């Protein structure tokens, strides 16, 4: 007999069907006992005998043959009755916590220690479905705009991008490093396909133990050639975000904010003024970001806001300066609900500009040889961005800690499971 | 003026247009000079003066305003005439090799040293477009079959899967390892979503320097619950491959082999007989795989063939044995044109079976604690597979070395660019 899913039951009233899944909950009331079965698509209620209920355990995997019976009490309008139950995989130890409560009551470390169990909770599943939908929307949007997907090396030979927060690896007896971003590679691939994207892991040996930092996260990277400046990049990002939000709404059934066709944009100097920062402040703090986020809602009804023109000294060496004021950059951040979730900008594209920028930074050229090669052999004006997937999902769902929206997070203290 | 792409020129006859791209080739003939411009979509021919040609260099990036003129000699039926040319990025060094010949003439190491240039060659671009299309088809097929995309850790705390070929990393002062596959995590996620997939990098510290091994490659992983045995997994893989091949044919305009609705399948013992292997041979060799591949074409007209029921001692501990003959497994390989490109099978799903399997293998349980947790808390019968993307693409295009279809390959000797 073909197994059907919980969501299909209503179409099979009065029929005998096979369902299968996990025992989400066992409820023994005075006169009746219920087994709530959980499968990939949802829950269904099964009327069981007290004896059946006593012999079963929550989270055991079962296959049930039963009759679909209309029921006004059952949440879906039907329940399963007269079940015969076959246990496929029995749980015979106490669970460290229950997964059927509205919220997981265990501490976050306990949840993460037992990720294989805590991820089964509906709230955690929803977060991962949102992440999957956001990635899918990202790819759909970019493929429609002629971007080509790439896969770039995660092991690199020099810790060039930012020496400090990098993981060292033993690469066949030589030193290697985990890539902190696909930055250099996606730029080189602009020379091949003009427009590229990658969805992949990036690694930061972040010594900071905060609610928004992970040692590995998923970066949604894009890079595009033949731009006039960073505003072309921002326009493409805005269109991409719009498709991402629509895909999340459709696939994960989560309410998503409207993405304005033109997201409000403020310069770094304006952002500081809005935040009431002291004159001469050199960078945005989380508090300033929150203030600018509130301003964007208040003044423009937008939960998204661009901050452009960060000081060059705060941006990496490959950042293109603002031609009108070279102390400032053609770089931008996108704040979503007051948190930076995207960094992007226009990059340098001429070999001689790279040599000058690295030399000014006191950097030797040799570790960058393979990277500079692409610029020596002709590269168009280009720019791109990186979206932090976990931060986006956390902000979308109003979750305070990125660890709650990550399947098996890695941080300063955690390398398992 | 809006830039248009080379492929759009035919729709603009007699108009003045702007194009932009790389100088693919400069040809100075006796009476006329040509500039062949390459952009993301193709090539176009520009009639230039000898003086213009002399001032330009191949691979420089240019923007050209010119008239679209019908031409019987031009490959696309039109050429650009009376161009004014603006150089966006000039090449002023000799190129290490030419990219406009039918084949790259430089040695493979030289090509890889200058990957930013060699990847611009049409054959290399085509391979990467095939890889992108295969990944896209993989996701499309699986999303349509209720699989959910996941992102799993690439840094793991124990080198459990196969101790030898693993990269060690310094994880905040503790030992860590790069994940050789998402195997454990995708299995745990079956407990969450029933069906999951991941497209991501995997890492093998392969000491072997062959044409089919890389230290990092892209693995197309899937795992599904509530299967009867490995044959359900093979059926899903077959449907997925069919969509992948159709997507490659459509998006990358490459001829792809037909995927039979039922791919021929032979047992390990039959495969050895077909290959003429001596009785008692314990494993398939590349030569045997080729022989079985030829047999499948000859007898079934199929370029794909499954080999099932490998001996248990040749498969990892999580492999489900064949209930009818527990010395053999419910594992399979898929050979494509005589090369193994997929490994898969049914896995153990009961906690006690894992304990028994690990104990029999003389392995301690402790390093597997986070993994075993999922099985302790209820897991359905399940199985899955992993496709090696680069191998698939190389086989599809008839390319001998996987390095030729990888953007920036990593191997025993190479960590840059």
B115 and A370 within 8 Å at the Cβ level: the answer is yes
What residues of A are in contact with residue B221 (Cβ under 8 Å)?
Answer: none
Q: What local confidence, expressed as pLDDT, does residue A2 receive?
A: 87
A369 and B416 within 8 Å at the Cβ level: the answer is yes
For residues A17 and A4, what is the distance between their CA atoms, to the nearest angstrom?
7
Q: At B207, is the pLDDT very low, low, confident or very high (cuts 50, 70, 90)?
A: confident
* Cα A48–chain centre separation: 40
Residue A239 has pLDDT above 70, yes or no: yes
Sign of CA dihedral A105, A110, A112, A116: negative
Residue A192 has pLDDT above 70, yes or no: yes
Among residues 337-366 of chain A, which lie with CB inside 8 Å of chain B? 349-351
Calculated CA dihedral for residues A94, A5, A130, A220, nearest 10 degrees: 100
CB B75 within 8 A of CB B45: yes
Delimit the domains of chain B by residue range.
6-89, 118-405
For chains A and B, what is the number of CB pairs under 8 angstroms? 257
How far is the first Cα of chain B from the last one, in angstroms, to the nearest whole number? Answer: 37
Question: Which candidate from B174, B176, B407 shows the least CB-CB separation from A151?
Answer: B407
Q: Which of A54-58, A239-243, B329-333, B369-373 has the lowest mean pLDDT?
A: B369-373
Structure tokens at B192: 């969450």
Matching residue, tokens 């006169």: A31
For residues A176 and A200, what is the distance between their CA atoms, to the nearest angstrom?
19
For residues B185 and B49, what is the distance between their CA atoms, to the nearest angstrom?
62
Beta bridge pairs of residue B28: B33
Q: Is B14 annotated as a binding residue?
A: no
Calculated CA dihedral for residues B389, B40, A263, A294, nearest 10 degrees: 40
CB A19 within 8 A of CB A80: yes
CATH domain A6-89 topology:
OB fold (Dihydrolipoamide Acetyltransferase, E2P) (2.40.50)
Q: What local confidence, expressed as pLDDT, does residue B38 receive?
A: 97
Structure tokens at B78: 């039109």
Q: Is B120 annotated as a binding residue?
A: no
Among residues 221-280 of chain B, which lie with CB inside 8 Å of chain A? 226
Q: What local confidence, expressed as pLDDT, does residue B161 receive?
A: 62
ipTM: 0.97
DSSP of B8-69: GGGGGTT-EEEEEEEEEEEEE-SS-EEEEEE-SS-EEEEEE-HHHHHH--TT-EEEEEEEEE
Question: Which candidate from B132, B156, B379 shows the least CB-CB separation from A89?
Answer: B379
Region A249-265: mean pLDDT is: 97
For residues A365 and A160, what is the distance between their CA atoms, to the nearest angstrom?
10
Q: What local confidence, expressed as pLDDT, does residue B162 receive?
A: 59
Q: At A279, is the pLDDT very low, low, confident or very high (cuts 50, 70, 90)?
A: confident
User: Running DSSP on this structure, what letter comes out for residue B195?
Assistant: E
Q: Is B246 annotated as a binding residue?
A: no
CB B276 within 8 A of CB B287: no
Q: What local confidence, expressed as pLDDT, does residue B248 receive?
A: 98
Residue B12 has pLDDT above 80, yes or no: yes
Preceding omega of B417 cis (within 30 degrees of 0): yes
B371 and A95 within 8 Å at the Cβ level: the answer is no
Q: What is the pLDDT of residues B130-178, one digit of tens each?
A: 999 999 999 999 999 999 999 999 999 987 665 579 999 999 999 999 9
Residue A1 has pLDDT above 70, yes or no: no
Q: Are strands A304-308 and A331-336 parallel, antiparallel or unpaired?
A: antiparallel
Region B317-340: mean pLDDT is: 97
Q: Which of A1-5, A107-111, A234-238 has the lowest mean pLDDT?
A: A1-5
What residues of B are in contact with residue A124 (Cβ under 8 Å)?
Answer: 192
For residues B281 and B192, what is the distance between their CA atoms, to the nearest angstrom?
40
Matching residue, tokens 């079963």: A56
Distance in Å, alpha carbon of A63 to nearest chain B alpha carbon: 9
Q: Does A201 touch chain B (CB under 8 A)?
A: yes
Q: Does A369 touch chain B (CB under 8 A)?
A: yes
Among residues 291-330 of chain A, which lie with CB inside 8 Å of chain B? none
CATH domain B118-405 topology:
BirA Bifunctional Protein; domain 2 (3.30.930)
For residues B197 and A8, what is the distance between their CA atoms, to the nearest angstrom?
24
Q: Does A97 touch chain B (CB under 8 A)?
A: no
Preceding omega of A81 cis (within 30 degrees of 0): no
User: How large a percentage of chain A has pLDDT more than 70?
Assistant: 99
Q: What local confidence, expressed as pLDDT, does residue A101 receive?
A: 93
CB A294 within 8 A of CB A334: no
Q: What local confidence, expressed as pLDDT, does residue A38 receive?
A: 97
Q: Are strands A382-388 and A216-225 parallel, antiparallel or unpaired?
A: antiparallel
For residues A135 and A120, what is the distance between their CA atoms, to the nearest angstrom?
21
What residues of A are in contact with residue B199 (Cβ under 8 Å)?
Answer: 199
Q: What is the pLDDT of residues B74-129, one digit of tens each?
A: 888 999 999 999 999 999 999 999 999 999 999 999 999 999 999 999 999 999 99
Half-sphere exposure at residue B56, Cβ-oriented, CA atoms within 13 angstroms: 32
Structure tokens at A84: 């015969």
Region A8-19: mean pLDDT is: 97
DSSP of B320-363: PEETTEEEEESEEEEEETTEEEEEEEEE---HHHHHHHHHHTT-
User: How large a percentage of chain B has pLDDT more than 90?
Assistant: 93
What residues of B are in contact with residue A117 (Cβ under 8 Å)?
Answer: 191, 373-374, 377
Q: Does B201 touch chain A (CB under 8 A)?
A: yes
Contacts 24+ apart (CB under 8 A), A93-97: A93/B376, A95/A58, A95/A59, A95/B377
CB B105 within 8 A of CB B97: yes
- What rounded mean pLDDT belongs to chain A? 96
For residues A162 and B384, what is the distance between their CA atoms, to the nearest angstrom?
39
For residues A296 and A307, what is the distance between their CA atoms, to the nearest angstrom?
11
Structure tokens at B32: 């006329």
For residues B64 and B37, what is the distance between their CA atoms, to the nearest angstrom?
9
Q: Does B157 touch chain A (CB under 8 A)?
A: yes
CB B243 within 8 A of CB B254: no
A415 and B376 within 8 Å at the Cβ level: the answer is no
CB count within 10 Å of CB A360 equals 9
CB A383 within 8 A of CB A346: yes
Q: At A161, is the pLDDT very low, low, confident or very high (cuts 50, 70, 90)?
A: low
How far is the first Cα of chain A from the last one, in angstroms, to the nearest whole number? Answer: 37
Q: What is the pLDDT of residues A23-67, one digit of tens each?
A: 999 999 999 999 999 999 999 999 999 999 999 999 999 999 999
Beta bridge pairs of residue A344: A332, A385
Q: Which residue has the higher pLDDT, A188 or B369?
A: A188
Q: What is the pLDDT of residues A113-156, one digit of tens each?
A: 999 999 999 999 999 999 999 999 999 999 999 999 999 999 99
Q: What local confidence, expressed as pLDDT, does residue A162 receive?
A: 59
What residues of A are in contact with residue B178 (Cβ under 8 Å)?
Answer: 155, 169
Q: Does A65 touch chain B (CB under 8 A)?
A: no
Spatial CB neighbours of B37, under 8 Å, sequence gap ≥ 6: B6, B19, B21, B22, B23, B24, B43, B44, B45, B46, B62, B64, B80
How big is chain A by its Cα radius of gyration, in Å? 26
Sign of CA dihedral B225, B227, B231, B236: negative
* Cα B208–chain centre separation: 20
For residues A332 and A235, what is the distance between their CA atoms, to the nearest angstrom?
12
CB count within 10 Å of CB B413 equals 11
- Backbone phi, psi, residue A84, to 5°: -110, 130
Residue A164 has pLDDT above 80, yes or no: no
What residues of B are in contact with residue A410 (Cβ under 8 Å)?
Answer: 153, 155
Region B254-279: mean pLDDT is: 96
Strand, coil or helix: A140: helix
Region B192-218: mean pLDDT is: 95
Region A380-403: mean pLDDT is: 97
Length of chain B: 417
CB count within 10 Å of CB A416 equals 17
Residue B184: closest CA among B150, B208, B214, B217: B150
For residues A101 and B219, what is the distance between their CA atoms, to the nearest angstrom?
36
Write the burial class of residue B416 (CB in 10 Å: 0-12 exposed, 13-18 middle, 19+ buried): middle
What's the angle, vertex CA B120, arms to CA A219 and CA B254, rounded to 5?
Answer: 85
């Amino acid at each position: 007999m073909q197994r059907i899913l919980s969501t299909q039951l209503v179409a099979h009233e009065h029929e005998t069907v096979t369902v299968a899944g996990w025992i989400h909950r066992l409820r023994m009331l005075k006169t009746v006992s219920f087994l709530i079965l959980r499968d990939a698509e949802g829950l269904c209620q099964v009327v069981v005998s007290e004896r059946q209920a006593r012999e079963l355990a929550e989270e055991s995997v079962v296959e049930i043959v039963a009759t679909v019976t209309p029921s006004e009490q059952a949440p879906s309008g039907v329940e399963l009755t007269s079940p015969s139950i076959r246990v496929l995989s029995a749980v015979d130890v106490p669970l460290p916590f229950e997964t059927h409560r509205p919220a997981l009551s265990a501490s976050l470390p306990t949840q993460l220690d037992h990720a294989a169990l805590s991820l089964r909770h509906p709230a955690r599943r929803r977060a991962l479905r949102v992440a999957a939908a956001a990635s899918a929307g990202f790819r759909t949007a970019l493929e429609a705009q002629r971007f080509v997907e790439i896969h770039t090396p995660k092991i690199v030979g020099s810790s060039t991008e930012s020496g400090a927060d990098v993981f060292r690896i033993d690469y066949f007896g030589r030193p290697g490093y985990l890539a902190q971003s696909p930055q250099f590679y996606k730029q080189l691939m602009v020379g091949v396909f003009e427009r590229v994207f990658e969805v992949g892991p990036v690694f930061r040996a972040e010594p900071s133990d905060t609610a928004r930092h992970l040692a590995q996260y998923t970066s949604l990277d894009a890079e595009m050639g033949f731009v006039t400046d960073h505003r072309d990049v921002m326009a493409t990002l805005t269109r991409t975000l719009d498709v991402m939000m629509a895909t999340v709404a459709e696939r994960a059934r989560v309410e998503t904010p409207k993405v304005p066709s033109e997201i409000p944009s403020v310069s770094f100097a304006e952002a500081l003024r809005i935040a009431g920062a002291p004159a001469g402040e050199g960078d945005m703090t989380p508090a300033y970001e929150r203030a600018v986020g509130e301003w964007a809602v208040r003044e423009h009804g937008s939960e998204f806001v661009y901050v452009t023109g960060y000081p060059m000294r705060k941006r990496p060496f490959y950042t293109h300066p603002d031609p009108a004021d070279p102390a400032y950059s053609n770089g931008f951040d996108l704040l979503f609900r007051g948190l930076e979730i995207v960094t992007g900008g226009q990059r340098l594209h001429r070999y001689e500009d790279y040599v000058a920028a690295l030399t000014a930074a006191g950097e030797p050229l040799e570790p960058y040889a393979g990277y500079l090669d692409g610029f020596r052999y002709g590269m168009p004006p280009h720019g791109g961005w990186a979206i932090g997937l976990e931060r986006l999902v956390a902000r979308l769902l109003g979750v305070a800690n990125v660890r709650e929206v990550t399947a098996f997070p890695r941080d300063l203290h955690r390398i398992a499971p």
